[in-house]
Structures are given as structure tokens and as C-alpha cells.
Amino acid sequence: MQLKNILNLVLIFSSSLLLKADDLSELRGQKLYETICFSCHGNKLEGATGPNLKDYEWLHGSSKSDIIKSITNGFPEKGMLAFGALYKQEQINDLVNFILSRQQGLRNVEYKIFHDIQLNDKFEWDKHKADKQRSLKPPHFNPNLPEVNQFAISFKGQLLIPKHLAGDFILSGIRKQYRGIALYIDGDKIPFPTNKDRAIKIPLNLRAGTHDIRLEYIKDFKSTVFFLDLVGKETIPLTSESYRRSITSSHIPKAENAFLINRKRITAAPPGSIIVNHMDKISYAIDPKTSDIKAMWLGKSLDIGPNIYARGQHFAQPIGTHLFSAEQSINLFINGKAAELKYIGYSDKPLPKFIFKSSEGEISLQSKIENNALKLSYSIKSNHALDINLKIPQELNTKLSKGKTKNGLFTPESPQDFFISIPIKELK
Amino acid sequence: MQKFIFLGLIILTQFLLANPKGYSIETITTPKDVYFHIAGLDIDKQGRVYCATRYGDVWILDKGKWIQFAKGLQEPCGLVIDDDGSVVVTQKPEMTRLVDSDQDGVADLYLNLSHEWGFHNNYHEFNFGGIKDKQGNFIGSLNLAAGPKVPGLKLSAMSTEGGYRGWAYKVSPEGKFTPIASGLRSPAGLGKNPQGELFFTDNQGDYLASSTLNQLEPGKFYGHPISLLDKPEYNMTTLKNMDDQEFDKMRTLPIVWIPQEEIANSPGNPEWNATKGKFGPFENQFFIGDQSRSNIFRVSLQKVAGRYQGAVIDFMSGFQCGNIRLKFDLEGNLWAGQTSRGWASRGSRPYGLQKVVWDQKTIPFEILDVKLQKESFKIYFTQKINPQDAKKIKISRWWYEYSRMYGAPKSELEELTPQAIKISADGMSMTISCALMKERVYCFDFSELNNDKLANKKAYYTIINLIE
């Protein structure tokens, strides 16, 4: 009996020593993080120029040894030094212990889709065979996954709560349907409001560690809008819409000292439009079906993050200030009519140049930066004289080649070669 | 010790995956920090590997080095190298010819071959391609739209706003656009055989009980009705008032049904094996990758009563990501372009490139082929089958009902008792007599055989026509 007690004491003592050693290592790691890593990965490991370090996604491996390797060797071409040359292996070990102690949110989520299940069906989740069953990456609950109109979907996985966030949270969200949603944490059903209130606000207390989490969702309302976050000292997104709102790692291709041509979906221009950015200063969207310039904005090109995330359901976002309103555009008129053009294609060497043909001849449009302005040069090759006009939004500040302007309609003096120049500086 | 456990795990997984002996998977390192979701893949006569990525780039792997050939494209889902060295890609809004006019190794002209179809900015409006027909036309297929709020004609899950969504089309080298056939749903892979006949796969969903391989023939309708909106004799109202039985009567049946969750859920392009034995014993069969189950399977064709039908046999599993594009290189290695974005796939990687290499000597024990005869099936093997083993065969058959439901289970599933089993004199094939019926999928199951022998144990034969 006595021996057992002594053994127990030894066990408790040694485990508390172990715990302390871990804590100390994490603390040392935190100090190191706060002097070095924060500038690229964010104060809260949320990511900035470097990636988020506390979520599910690890570009170069999530195991302790993977992370040690990443820090030791760095990614010099991406601006991350090989820290192995600057810090001892013990220090890097501390740093990784700290990063691992901050892991939070959903992990290892599996979903099951059951087709044609109605809310009023007496549906027993365990007794039905799922029509689809997969692991969910990213792991955030997404009731928009099914391609069928009517369905039930369940998600099952783990929720990581790190020590520094443990305690009181508010489960906060917005739902479109007030029936058919059930959330369980560690087997306990979370009491969602039973009235038609769309807002969810439920206080919860969560200990540090790994929790089992499960969401059951039977589609009731035609739109499946569903935001759900755990709001505490930090916000932990639970649904894909919440996650998308939370991600700071947008994806903005850079033109730097040159130009960039990109074809992505944006709401400001018709489907199939091509977006050109010069020097991360100014962008325009050209519709190749018409040659119309449908949008123009100052600043960087596009955040294409939403367009290359998951299925790409969401539109890329122009970054910066639009120079004319959505219903406006720059249009070419030939002999008094909107030009009927056949789009031939574009060249990207040495400059962006869009080429069109019409019954009247060949038309090209080239862009460049000149005198801190975007210069759009039109060139028209035709065997006979043409009456050329360019309709320019009146709200657009421009410098034009020689010609006359009346009621926003520009008539160039030389219809073979003319330009429109949009100053960048003055408009800032 | 740990090493032993690791080794044990590898052996165990390979055993569970039941891959053919003599074939191995090699992983190709893709450019660092580049989103490399491959959806277009071709290989030129110098062995250079061209990849179109969903991010919008075209990259070339030339003697182990990656070169960025083009960029800024809109989710290209097909790529074919033309005879003059230019590259034709199917972007969502445009079929584009990429030309390196100054011969510096990078495309500088992005020429519009055609944009004569409807693209309405829906994420699901993929434009698949990667095939050139015998006459020099470039072939493409236009996915239907999807999403909870998608506008247009919607009879079940998918939607169209017109403009030949759900059609296959061809574009002449001069840029003339011609729609070929309708009724396609999510036709993610196009292919051809050495005779130049065209084929496409379609992905299971509404109006498609399970995934299929089909021959692409002009004027045919393959079953998804909303594509009929582009035919002058139909409109929104007439199509909404028609019932599924009417569409059923109009449709052309597939070459083979590809059983969901057993073989494939999201098949990619059919790639014909004409490697003259460089890829082992499976000559003159289609190899098809699956984006969802991350495997590769085979399809062999048989022409009966004037049209194709045939057999489906699994080949290899355990790839790092979902295989959507396959291509043989000149040495007879089978390359697999991979993606998982938006549609999850088995495996540890979100995207990538792998190739299957045969060791040039081992003939694995596999079901080589199944052919229908007048009153029986003949099953061919790559090695001699033990007559005792042959008796352990189990036969079942079923059909897939046509409806607007999103996928359908096997219907009229039944077990069959073989009436007679005869092993050929050389032991390389067996003839099985059993009750034959048209419009049935027959499954020949050798699961009772010794595990370490036959790697893939099932063959599925789709009977469309019986031999009269």
C-alpha cells in the first residue's frame, strides 16, 4: 500500500516536472517567435507575408520534424532564412514546441452526404448508408458541398483548443434556416435557438485539448448560408464561409516592374474578360468579344484567392479604386456604329497588345506606362478612310491624342493611330 | 525496428491496394511553391511533358527542368501539342492557340481559336479538351453549370444558360466552331483510338446513374436533357414538361458503365495503350484515371452489332492524389496529372504529377480481357489460370436506371450460376456459359482466389447488344 502511494507520488512529481519542462520550452519558443517570426507570420501566427502557422494547412509538412526542417533550412527563394545557421537546434526545438502548442480549430473532418433527405423525414443518421463519404479539406463545415437539391450532410472531426485560448467562448453565427441543424461537442448537443432568429449566440466553456465535434445538417432553406465561429480571445472559424471570411492569405499576383495579363472571373467585367495590370499601379479589363474596356482601377491587379480556393465558386476581387462606374466603358465606334470585331488574340511581347479584325481592316490596342500614365494606343489598318470614334466615360480623367471631343465622344485627328492616356498620379 | 515496421506498412498497403506486379509509381517534383493542379497533359516527340494547371499556367518539363511556357489562362482543362509545336488549350471562355513566335521557349501569342459557346462565369462551366481528330479539328466538351443559386434551366442538380453547355464540339484549324453531340453532364475526359474514333468519359450525377465511357458520335444525345435547350425544337417550357422516360428513349447508351465506389467516381481522359508492348501485356486498351479514388483502370472495347461495348478492370491504386489526366510517353511510361481542389481525392497530396513505370519483364497475373461470345463470355488472363481456381468465380449482373436522381444504385441485381466453365488448352483463358441478357453489367468476381496471385479480382462487362 505504502509502496503504491510512493510510486504514485513519484509519478505525479515526475509528470509535473515533465509538464514544466514542456511549458518552459514553449515559453522560450514564444520569446523567440515574438522577436523573429512574428514579422512575417503575424503576432498571433495568423499569417502575413508568410503563411498561417496555427491552422490545418502545412505547406511543407505538419509533423514536428517537418517543421524543424522547414525552420532550419528555410525557404530562401521566398524570403525565409535558413534559421539553422542562426539558432541552436534546442532553440528551434523550443520554437516548434511553441508553434505546436498554438494549433487550433478543426482537424480530420469527414463528411457524409445523404441524397434526397427531407427535414420532415424521420431520418436516422446512423442507419443510412451515405451516398458520398470523404475527408474534408479544408476541414471547415460546408453545407454547399452536395450537388443535389435536397440532402442531409454530416461532418465529424476534432476541434483543437490550445491552452492560451481555453475557457469562455461565444458560439456565434448566422444561419438561413432555423431547423435541421444540430451541433455536438464531446457528444453534448449545443442548444441552438428554436425560434426563427437567424443569429446564433451561445456561451460555451471549452477546456484545452482535443474535442470531438459533429454537425448534422438537413437542408431546409434553398440557400445554405451558414456562418459559425467560436469567438473567444481569438476567433476560430467552424464553417467554410466563416473560414473564407477569416483568411488573410489572399493571393495577389504581382506585376512589379512589368505587366501582368490574367484571365479570371470578376464581377466588374463580362465573362471571359482579360485583365491587364501595369506595374501594380493600374489595371483594366478588356472584353475580347467587343474590345470594350469594361473596368479600370488604380492599384494592384486582383486578389485571385477566392477564384483559386476550393472549387473556385467565388469571384476574384479587383484591388484598388475604380476609375469609372460599372455601367460605363470605353467603346470603339467605326463609321458611327459599335465596332463589330473578330477577336484574333493577344501578344504579350514586348507589351500587351490585343488584335481584332473587322470587315474594315485590322485593329489593335496596346497598353503601356508612359509618363506615369496608362497609355492605350489604338492602331487601325484599313484600305479606305474610316470614321473612328471612341466613347470615353466622362468621369475618367484622360489625355488624348490630337482630335476633337464632343459629348464624351472622341474623334481622333489621325484615325490610323491614336491614344488615350490615363494619368496615375493625379488621380490618387 | 522502426524500419521494419515501416517496411511492413509498405508491404501491407501494397498488398491491400492489390497492384499488378512489375509496375511502380514514380513521383515527379513539380515547380516549387507553384499551385500545380494539372488538368491538361501532353508529351511531345522529344519527350517534353506539357502541363496545363488550373491556376492558369502551362509548364514544360524538359530534361528534368521546368519552364513556364504560358500564364494567366482561365482554368485550362485540356492541352494538346499541335504538329507545328504550338499548343492548344481549352480555357473556360476560349480555345486558345499558344505560339512561341520568337522561338525563345516561351509563348508570346495567345490566339483565339474559338469562343463561340456560352460561358456565364459559373465555376462549374469547365471546358475540357486535349484531343485533335483525324481531320485536324480540336475537340472540346462543355460542362454544365452548378451551384445553389445558379440561373438557367435546371431540371435536377445541374443547370444551363445555353450556349452549348453539355455538348461536345469541334473547332477547325481555321477556327470554325461546330457542336457535335449533346446530353453530356460533366465530360471530364476526351480520348481517341488509333483509328481516330473519339471517346469521352462522363461523371456520375443527375441523369447519370454511374460514370461512363462513351463513343463520341455526331448528332447523338447521351442523356443529360438540359443540353437540349440549344436545339431549335426545344425550349425551357417544353423541356420542363417532358418526363424522364421521353429523354430515356432518345439517349445513346454508353460503351461501359464504370461502377461507382468500385472502380471510379470521377473518371478523366481515356488514354489508348499503343505502346507496342512497352507497357506490358495490356496493349490496345484504354487506361483511365479517377480523380476521386486516385486509381487507374482499364477498358477494353468490343464491337457488337455495329457499336462498342466492353469490359472495365481496375489496374492500379495508391497514387498521391486524384488522377484526372493520363498520357503515355515515348518509352511507354504512363504519366498521371493530378488535382484535388474542390473535389477531394484519396492520397496525401493536393496536386501533382506521377508516372507508372513497367519493369519491362514481369508479367503480372491479371484479368487481361473479357469478350462476349454468342452464348458465353471468354475471359482472358495474362498467366495460366488454375482450373480449380477458375471454378471459384462468382457472377452477378445488374443495370442502372435512368432518372434525374443524382446517381442511382444497381437495379435488378442478381447472382448467376455459371452453366459451364471451360479452360482453354493453353490455360490462358476460360469460357463461361451463363444466362445472357442485353442491357446488363456482368461482374466476374475472382475474390475467392488466393490473394497473392491475381491482383485485381473483378472484371465488369457491359452488354449493350447480344451477338445474334
- pLDDT 10s digits, B356-378: 999 999 999 999 999 999 999 99
Q: Where are the alpha helices (DSSP H) in B286-439?
A: 387-390
Question: What is the rounded average pLDDT for all residues in chain A?
Answer: 89
Residue A202 falls inside a structural domain? yes
Which residues on chain B are in Cβ contact (under 8 Å) with A148?
156-157, 206, 406
Per-residue confidence band for A5, with pLDDT thresholds at 50, 70 and 90 = low
Structure confidence by residue, pLDDT tens digits, A349-408: 999 999 999 998 999 999 999 999 999 999 999 998 999 999 999 999 999 999 999 988
Q: What is the ipTM of this complex?
A: 0.94
CB pairs under 8 A between A and B: 107
Per-residue confidence (pLDDT) for residue B17, from 0 to 100: 59
Q: pLDDT tens across A152-198, in order? A: 999 999 999 999 999 999 999 999 888 999 999 999 999 999 888 88
pLDDT of res. B249: 98
Identify whether the C-beta of residue B65 lies closer than 8 Å to the C-beta of residue B47. Answer: no
pLDDT in tens, B334-353: 999 999 888 878 887 889 99
Which candidate from B55, B342, B405 shows the least CB-CB separation from A311? B342
pLDDT digits (tens, 9 = 90+) for B381-402: 999 998 888 889 999 999 999 9
Cross-strand bridge partners of residue A378: A365, A418
The C-alpha atoms of residue A58 and residue A61 are separated, in whole angstroms, by 5
Amino acid at the residue B386? N
What distance in Å separates residue A124's CA from the closest CA in chain B? 20
Q: Are residues A58 and A183 in the same domain?
A: no
A35 interfaces chain B, CB cutoff of 8 Å = no
Residue A428 lies in a domain: no
**CATH code, domain carrying A11:** 1.10.760.10
| Residue that wins the pLDDT comparison between A212 and A4 | A212
Contact residues on chain B for A271, CB-CB shorter than 8 A: 93, 119-121
Pairing of strands A105-115, A188-189: unpaired
Between A2 and B12, name the one with better pLDDT: A2
Please indicate whether, in this complex, the C-beta atoms of B115 and A289 are within 8 angstroms of each other. yes
Q: What share of chain A is helix, strand, coil (3-state, %, to 5)?
A: 20, 35, 45
Same domain, A109 and A97: no
Asked if B290 is an interface residue toward chain A (Cβ–Cβ < 8 A), one would say no
Q: Does B159 contact A at CB distance below 8 Å?
A: no
A187 min Cα distance to partner chain B (Å): 27
Q: What is the mean pLDDT of residues B75-79?
A: 98
A234 found inside a domain:
yes
Q: Where does residue A264 rank: exposed (0-12), middle (13-18), buried (19+ CB within 10 A)?
A: buried
Mean pLDDT, rounded, for B267-271? 98
Over residues A417-422, mean pLDDT: 97
- B54 in A contact zone (CB under 8 Å): yes
Q: Do A329 and A365 belong to one domain?
A: yes
* CA end-to-end span of chain B: 63
Q: How many domains does chain A have?
A: 3
Based on the domain organization, do A269 and A416 belong to the same domain? yes
Residue A221 in contact with partner chain B when CB distance is under 8 A: no
HEC string for B201-218: EECCEECECCEEEEECCC
Question: Which of B 63-92 lie inside 8 A of A, CB atoms?
Answer: 71-75, 91-92
Query: Among A66-75, A92-101, A417-426, B365-374, where is mean pLDDT lowest?
Result: A417-426
The domain that holds A109 is classified in CATH as: 2.60.120.260
pLDDT tens across B31-69, in order? 988 999 999 999 999 999 999 999 999 999 999 999 999
Q: What is the pLDDT of residues B134-157, one digit of tens each?
A: 999 999 999 999 987 899 999 999
**DSSP conformational letter for A415:** T
Q: B406, A115: Cβ pair inside 8 Å?
A: yes
Round to whole Å and give the CA distance between B18 and B150: 42
- What is the pLDDT at residue B10? 36
Shared domain for A90 and A190, answered yes or no, is: no
In the predicted model, what is the mean pLDDT of residues A203-227?
Answer: 89
Instruction: Flag whether pLDDT at B12 surpasses 50.
Output: no
With left for phi above 0 and alpha for psi between -120 and 50, is residue A407 left, alpha or beta? left
C-alpha separations of A286 from A329, A374, B91 in Å = 9, 14, 17
Flag the least confident range among A38-47, A281-290, B10-19. Answer: B10-19
Q: CATH 2.120.10.30 spans which residues of chain B?
A: 20-358
Residue A147 — pLDDT band, cuts 50, 70, 90? confident
User: Is residue B182 helix, strand or coil?
Assistant: strand
| Cα gap A317→B353, rounded to integer Å | 30
* Whether the predicted pLDDT of A310 surpasses 90: no
Q: Mean pLDDT across the stretch B6-25?
A: 60
Report if residue A155 sits inside a domain. Answer: yes
A267 plus A337 within the same structural domain: yes
Asked whether residue A34 is domain-assigned, the answer is yes
- Structural domain including A50 reads 2-101
Task: Name the domain boundary from A243, A275, A290.
Answer: A243
Quick check: is A364 in a domain? Answer: yes
Fold of the domain built from segment(s) B20-358: Neuraminidase (2.120.10)
Take residue B319 and report the three cell numbers written for it.
497514387
What b/e readout covers B97-117, taking b as 16+ CB neighbours within 10 angstroms?
A: bbbbeeeeebbbbbbbbbbbb
| Partners of B400 in the β-ladder | B410
Q: Is B174 on the interface with A (CB under 8 A)?
A: no
Percent composition of chain B: helix, strand, coil (DSSP 3-state, to 5): 10, 40, 50
Are A110 and A48 contained in the same domain?
no
Per-residue confidence at A6, pLDDT binned at 50, 70, 90?
Answer: low
B93 Cα to chain A: minimum distance (Å)? 5
Partner residue facing A261 (CB), from B32, B72, B147: B72
Q: Angle at the Cα of B179 (from B177 to B184), degrees rounded to 5?
A: 135
Per-residue pLDDT at A40 exceeds 80 = no
Q: What confidence score (pLDDT) does residue A17 get?
A: 52
The domain boundary, picked from A188, A216, A243, lies at A243
Instruction: Clarify whether residues A157 and A300 are in a common domain.
Output: no
* Co-location of A222 and A291 in the same domain: no
| Residue that finishes a domain, picked among A41, A70, A101 | A101
A140 contacts on B by Cβ (under 8 Å): none
Q: What percent of chain A has pLDDT over 90?
A: 64
Q: Which residues in chain B are closer than 8 Å to A349, comparing Cβ atoms?
A: 102, 108
Question: B2, B37, B121, B124: which to substitute to probe chain A, counting the most A Cβ within 10 Å?
Answer: B121
A19 falls in which pLDDT band (50, 70, 90)?
A: low
Lay out the sheet containing B420-423: strands in order across: B367-372, B376-381, B429-433, B420-423
A272 and A195 both lie in a single domain: no
- A294 and A406: one domain? yes
Residues of B in contact with A80 (CB under 8 A): none
For chain B, say whether A262 makes contact (Cβ under 8 Å). yes
Cite the residue boundaries of each domain of chain B with CATH code 2.60.40.
Answer: 367-463
Q: Concatenated DSSP letters for A47-108?
A: -SSSPPSSSS--TT--SHHHHHHHHHH-BGGGTB--GGGTS-HHHHHHHHHHHHHT--EEEE
Average pLDDT over residues A104-129: 92
The pLDDT value recorded for residue B1 is: 35
Q: Do A263 and B56 touch (CB under 8 A)?
A: yes
B164-182 pLDDT, tens per residue?
A: 999 999 999 999 999 999 9
- A143 is a domain residue: yes
**Is A156 inside a domain boundary?**
yes
User: Domain B367-463, what fold?
Assistant: Immunoglobulin-like (2.60.40)
Same structural domain, A286 and A407: yes
pLDDT band at B251 (very low <50, low <70, confident <90, very high): very high
